[in-house]
């Protein structure tokens, strides 16, 4: 078992009187896909935003590569190599693939945009991810399919030698064939050694691509299980009831309402 690349311990977060995250422990491993699952309102996005430095945490610690870090600013996460692909893809339709991949982080030489260099790097990144569905990196993003857009958003996130990438529902808007391509890409990221966190509602996606599953229930981690030892039914029970058979939260906690 490798050491976790990112380890969250005892994290709590409230918004005013609403206690959204409760004593969260979660470890992310390099070379593995960890699925983060949970019902609407369970706290998935809040947890991700705490790691991104968009929200501050009230208590708890975060360690990156074994060292404590304070992720109180999105630039800290980016500097460590933690990247996020949010659901609303945040790509600019009026720009091409290369421009999107370098948006806000353009490479300049002598004050001028190094267009050729960025184009080359964009192409190399897509090739290294075995992306064959995009014909030209100068194609405008407006002309891409949903699956291609998701691919560009993911490639953008891993362009910077990232070590951990969070993907929020990357297949939510996609058809069968495009979902397949994106899941293959998700798997490839892990196979290249990244720690991948896949937020998903889709149990097929989770069972197919994840190595482990962390189930959030009313702001608590109900259980963290290995996909190979679990069934879809078990994971659905963890999501909807906070427990399944012997695993998960104690009945008193699982039944607690907020």
Ligand X SMILES: Nc1ncnc2c1ncn2[C@@H]1O[C@H](COP(=O)(O)OP(=O)(O)O)[C@@H](O)[C@H]1O
Task: By CB under 5 A, name the binding residues for Mg ion.
Answer: 44-45
Nearer to Mg ion, 44 or 212 (CB): 44
- Write out the DSSP string of 178-229: HHHHHHHHHHHHHHTT-EEEEE-S-HHHHHHH-SEEEEEETTEEEEEEEGGG
Taking CB under 6 A as the rule, does residue 160 contact ligand X?
A: no
The burial class, CB within 10 Å (0-12 / 13-18 / 19+), for 3 is exposed
Selection from ligand X, Mg ion, none that 178 binds (CB < 5 to 8 A by kind) is: none
Selection from Mg ion, ligand X, none that 151 binds (CB < 5 to 8 A by kind) is: none
Selection from Mg ion, ligand X, none that 41 binds (CB < 5 to 8 A by kind) is: ligand X
Nearer to ligand X, 101 or 223 (CB): 223
Judge contact between 198 and 205, C-beta under 8 A.
Answer: yes
Among 5, 8, 20, 189, binds ligand X (CB under 6 A): 20
3-class DSSP state of 118: helix
Question: One symbol per residue from 43 to 72: x for binding ligand X (CB under 6 A), - otherwise; what is it?
Answer: xxxx--------------------------
Q: Least distance to ligand X from the beta carbon of 216, Å? A: 6
Nearer to Mg ion, 32 or 45 (CB): 45
3-class DSSP state of 138: coil
Q: Alpha-carbon distance 151 to 5, whole Å?
A: 24
Which strands form 6-15's sheet, in the order they lie side by side?
Answer: 18-28, 6-15, 59-64, 67-69
Q: Alpha-carbon distance 165 to 195, whole Å?
A: 6
Q: Alpha-carbon distance 8 to 197, whole Å?
A: 13
Q: Least distance to ligand X from the beta carbon of 43, Å? A: 4
Q: Alpha-carbon distance 213 to 97, whole Å?
A: 32
- Residues that contact ligand X, how many (by CB under 6 A): 11
Taking CB under 6 A as the rule, does residue 81 contact ligand X?
A: no
| Backbone angles phi and psi of 202, in degrees to 5 | -95, 110
Taking CB under 6 A as the rule, does residue 38 contact ligand X?
A: yes
Judge contact between 119 and 55, C-beta under 8 A.
Answer: no
Nearer to ligand X, 30 or 43 (CB): 43
Residue with tokens 């078992």: 1
Among 3, 15, 56, 124, binds ligand X (CB under 6 A): 15
Q: Least distance to ligand X from the beta carbon of 36, Å? A: 9
Nearer to ligand X, 45 or 148 (CB): 45
Among 2, 41, 68, 116, binds ligand X (CB under 6 A): 41
Nearer to ligand X, 212 or 220 (CB): 220
Q: Least distance to Mg ion from the beta carbon of 41, Å? A: 8
Binding site for ligand X (CB under 6 A): 15, 18, 20, 38, 40-46
């Amino acid at each position: 078992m490798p050491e976790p690349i990112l380890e969250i311990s005892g994290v709590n977060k409230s918004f005013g009187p609403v206690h959204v995250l409760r004593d969260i422990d979660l470890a992310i491993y390099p070379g593995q896909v960890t699925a983060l699952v949970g019902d609407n309102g369970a706290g998935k996005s809040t947890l991700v935003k705490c790691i991104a430095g968009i929200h501050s945490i009230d208590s708890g610690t975060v360690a990156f590569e074994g060292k404590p870090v304070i992720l109180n600013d999105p630039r800290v996460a980016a500097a460590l190599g933690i990247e996020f692909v949010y659901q609303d893809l945040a790509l600019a339709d009026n720009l091409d693939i290369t421009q999107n991949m370098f948006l806000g982080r353009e490479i300049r030489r002598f004050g001028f945009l190094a267009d050729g260099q960025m184009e080359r790097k964009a192409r190399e990144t897509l090739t290294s991810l075995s992306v064959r569905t995009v014909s030209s990196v100068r194609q405008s993003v407006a002309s891409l399919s949903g699956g291609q857009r998701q691919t560009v958003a993911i490639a953008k996130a891993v362009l910077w030698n990232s070590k951990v990438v969070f993907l929020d529902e990357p297949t939510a808007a996609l058809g069968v064939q495009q979902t397949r391509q994106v899941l293959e890409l998700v798997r490839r990221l892990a196979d290249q050694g990244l720690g991948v966190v896949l937020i998903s509602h889709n149990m097929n996606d989770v069972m197919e691509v994840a190595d482990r599953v962390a189930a959030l229930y009313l702001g608590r981690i109900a259980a963290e299980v290995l996909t190979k030892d679990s069934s879809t039914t078990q994971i659905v029970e963890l999501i909807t009831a906070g427990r399944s058979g012997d695993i998960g939260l104690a009945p008193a906690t699982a039944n607690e309402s907020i």
